[in-house]
Structure 1
Amino acid sequence: MALVFLKRRLRKSRVAMAPETSDGVAEILTAESLQYSLTEIQIATNNFSVDNKIGEGGFGRVYKGVLGNGQEVAVKRLSRSSVQGAEEFKNEIVVVAKLQHRNLVRLLGFCLEGEEKILIYEFVANKSLDYFLFDPENKRSLNWSRRYNIIGGIAKGLLYLHEDSRLRIVHRDLKVSNILLDENMSPKIADFGMAKICGVDQYEGNTNRIAGTVGYMAPEYTRWGQFSLKSDVFSFGVVILEIVTGKKSSDFHQSRDSEDLLSYAWNHWRRGQTLALLDSSIGDSYARNEVIQCIQVGLLCVEEDASKRPTMASVVCMHNPGSVSLPTPHRPAVFRSNGSENRVDELKVDQSNTQRTSAPSSVNDASITEPYPR
């Protein structure tokens, strides 16, 4: 797959050709690109000062920086010891540099000098959604109107990835910690290290490398390595349910005897107790029809059968109450009515690195990545 040529340059000079390496990173150096020097990045981050560090993940650390023109940026410095760092670096440049949407984090440039691999992103002021959603005090900043708009913004960002950009992209790691909030509390989807670029007419693929986050991965992906646009739809459904309820999906998986989040939401919905799912911190200031609609859309997105899940185009239409008639959800994936089903058994495919014979993916197989650090 050809690397994208980034459209602008910080400097007029063309980046020098570099010897080709086994991991393909040198290929990036032939591009006319937004390449920053290591010196520029060191100055921007006060030489990667601890005081500037704003997050840390499995592939390195993220620092807040200020460029020479005064622009605030997030500087993602990949770990030198990371075996998968080069692939992560390459994949994020290839994917993110082509994307321009208000609900996606924007890549501003990169630095590749010696063993240093650095990505420069726009700085997003208000950290990640989980910082607010799952904190008893911070969640009070998320009233219903704000949550409803966040759900709509994420949906529009995913629709752009799936249908409206020049590529067809499966994010593969959508979760609340990968949703950043700007100064207006508008959402921006981040972290494309696991993303897959599909052909224009391709809607699904296979991989032998099952990677993702417990509670967000679609069942067909955890069981057989099958990913598609509908895998993202499943993850989005989980995100909707977390935003509405204020409950972590992962908290449900810590007990083998309790319901999972999907079962919890489904049981309330089928008993006609949908409003009881709403996060109590919201109080009485909410639109009843919007809450019910969001829960129903969330349940439609987490259908066991991927073909029954809506497309993101349909979801965006559904987000306006009364605009379309919503189908009736079926029992969701990984349903547990009495705690007898064990989702961990499915995840052994990931944890044991067991491989399943499958058709090769049409794009480079991205490695596991940590959330875009907060």
Structure 2
Amino acid sequence: MGSCWSRLPPNNRPTPSPTGTVTPAGTFNSQTTSGSYGTSTTTFNSISTTSSGSGSGSSNNMSSSINSTNFSSSDFSIGGQILSTANLRVYTFAELRTSTRNFRPDTVLGEGGFGKVFKGSLDGITIAVKKLNSESYQGLEEWQSEIHFLGRLYHPNLVKLLGYCYEDTELLLVYEYMQKGSLENHLFGRGAEIQPLSWELRLKIAIGAASGLSFLHTSNREIIYRDFKASNILLDGSYNAKISDFGLAKLGPSASQSHLSTTVMGTPGYAAPEYMQTGHLYVKSDVYGFGVVLVEILTGLRAIDINRPSGFHSLTDWIKPHLLDKRKLKKKMDILLDDKYPIKAALAIAKVASRCLAPEPKMRPSMKEVLEILKGTQASTDKTAEVSGQD
């Protein structure tokens, strides 16, 4: 989740009605939200969701709503599946409070628009518990969207949602715990505990993230993730990348449409230009965000950094000419790599990133094509390393 959020006046907070419907009052704009360990600026409208009460009894209407989502068959060749029904545990607030030691400050993993994410332990398993801030109004729709999507999506490169809790005004989500935190933290974090990512790990992470995004895009009714960025890519103990936070995800356009028209929600620096300018959302709007993350992986530079000189705040505004020239690219590669990378492979990835950043959606490659190129680059790099080792 992000680092900032807005507050509702006390008389406007969402409260359950006697029938179990939660309805925040009013229409809200220009709020802040994001993934598990980062931030983004978004826009919200009023929302509503339905549940049948508190505790374990709240699952009835929620499960019915979740399972009615119109997913279609997916490309199982990339290791994922869409479940016919959500397979989620309904946790009680009491057991989640106990698992996090009453939500102690020293268990906080991240904080943002939705609220805080806590590290917990339950039934001998380490978990991550995302808890809606009681004074926040922007997380309710995202909370339900997470359940709608992650409750039925399975792929090794998507963070696993284990269950949820809805008791009175308490809204929580429970995920598998990701030991290494976010890609953003590894690229831009500071401190003795943060070790620079090697070239091999960066490529592995890029491939894992591309695999997860490709899975979302290859169902008959594509899923548009809408907020792809480094803070939403989490890493397990072996640095396997998993996409987190589906609060802004949307089912893609129908066969008769080319795009969705939506209120603009996303992160400056990552959001595709056509989406920011018109609100038109394409599947390939995600591809643009992936291109930005690829550039961050190569350069170690943030998508947006107001501490850079004027004209250089937005990474994509000035980096494109450097991506297609070997000599220019070498000058922009992350200094933390210490020149320990194959320039041929780096150039190949930079060229893919440049294509992803094309101004028009139709000019961008599909995520399936991007994944194939990244895997091919990894294979050729591994083969070159083997040959060098034999010399």
TM-score range, shorter chain: 0.7 to 0.9
Alpha-carbon offset, residue 81 of structure 1: 1.8
Q: Which residue of 2 aligns with 1:161?
A: 216
SS of the aligned residue for 2:153 comes to coil
Whether 1:85 aligns to 2:139 is yes
SS of the aligned residue for 1:194 comes to coil
Q: Which residue of 1 aligns with 2:171?
A: 117
Structure 1 unaligned regions, length at least 5: 1-17, 324-374
State how far apart, in whole Å, the 2-side matches of 1:51 and 1:269 are: 42
- Stretch of structure 1 that moved more, 238-247 or 252-261: 252-261
Percent sequence identity is 36
Q: Deviations over 1:244-280 (max 9, x none)?
A: 1001111168643337422433222355422322212
CA contact (8 A) 1:36 1:109 kept: yes
SS of the aligned residue for 2:289 comes to helix
Q: Which residue of 1 aligns with 2:298?
A: 244
Q: Which residue of 1 aligns with 2:111?
A: 56
* Structure 1 residues 253 and 172: alpha-carbon distance in aligned structure 2, compared to 1, 3 A threshold: farther
- Which 4+ residue blocks in structure 1 deviate beyond 6 angstroms? none
Whether 1:231 aligns to 2:231 is no
* Structure 1 residues 320 and 90: alpha-carbon distance in aligned structure 2, compared to 1, 3 A threshold: closer
State how far apart, in whole Å, the 2-side matches of 1:140 and 1:44 are: 29
Q: 1:192 aligns with which of 246, 252, 262?
A: 246
Whether 1:25 aligns to 2:50 is yes
**Count of aligned positions:** 304
Q: What does residue range 353-372 of structure 1 map to in structure 2 within 5 Å?
A: none
CA contact (8 A) 1:95 1:197 kept: no
* Structure 1 residues 146 and 271: alpha-carbon distance in aligned structure 2, compared to 1, 3 A threshold: closer
Q: 2:148 aligns with which of 70, 76, 94?
A: 94
* Structure 1 residues 20 and 113: alpha-carbon distance in aligned structure 2, compared to 1, 3 A threshold: closer
Q: Which residue of 2 aligns with 1:107?
A: 161
Q: Which residue of 1 aligns with 2:74?
A: none
* CA RMSD, 1 decimal: 2.4
Normalised to the residue count of structure 1, the TM-score between the two structures is 0.76
* Structure 1 residues 85 and 265: alpha-carbon distance in aligned structure 2, compared to 1, 3 A threshold: closer
Q: 1:180 aligns with which of 206, 229, 234?
A: 234
Alpha-carbon offset, residue 286 of structure 1: 1.4
State how far apart, in whole Å, the 1-side matches of 2:206 and 2:323 are: 19
Alpha-carbon offset, residue 321 of structure 1: 4.1
State how far apart, in whole Å, the 2-side matches of 1:65 and 1:159 are: 31
State how far apart, in whole Å, the 1-side matches of 2:181 and 2:323 are: 32
CA contact (8 A) 1:25 1:86 kept: no
CA contact (8 A) 1:103 1:154 kept: yes
- Stretch of structure 1 that moved more, 181-190 or 132-141: 132-141
CA contact (8 A) 1:54 1:63 kept: yes
CA contact (8 A) 2:304 2:313 kept: no
Q: Which residue of 2 aligns with 1:4?
A: none
CA contact (8 A) 2:252 2:283 kept: no
Q: Deviations over 1:123-154 (max 9, x none)?
A: 10011111110135666430101101111111
Q: Deviations over 1:186-243 (max 9, x none)?
A: 1111111111122564662111x21111100101000000111111000000000000
Alpha-carbon offset, residue 42 of structure 1: 1.2
Whether 1:285 aligns to 2:340 is yes
* Structure 1 residues 105 and 303: alpha-carbon distance in aligned structure 2, compared to 1, 3 A threshold: same
Alpha-carbon offset, residue 50 of structure 1: 1.4
Q: Which residue of 2 aligns with 1:365?
A: none
State how far apart, in whole Å, the 1-side matches of 2:313 and 2:92 are: 51
* Structure 1 residues 271 and 89: alpha-carbon distance in aligned structure 2, compared to 1, 3 A threshold: closer
State how far apart, in whole Å, the 2-side matches of 1:252 and 1:204 are: 32
Letter in 2 for 1:114: D
Whose relative contact order is higher, 1 or 2, with alpha carbons under 8 Å and at least 6 apart? 1
State how far apart, in whole Å, the 2-side matches of 1:260 and 1:83 are: 30
State how far apart, in whole Å, the 2-side matches of 1:288 and 1:318 are: 16
CA contact (8 A) 2:224 2:283 kept: yes
Q: Which residue of 2 aligns with 1:34?
A: 89
CA contact (8 A) 1:221 1:231 kept: yes
SS of the aligned residue for 2:323 comes to helix
Alpha-carbon offset, residue 102 of structure 1: 1.1
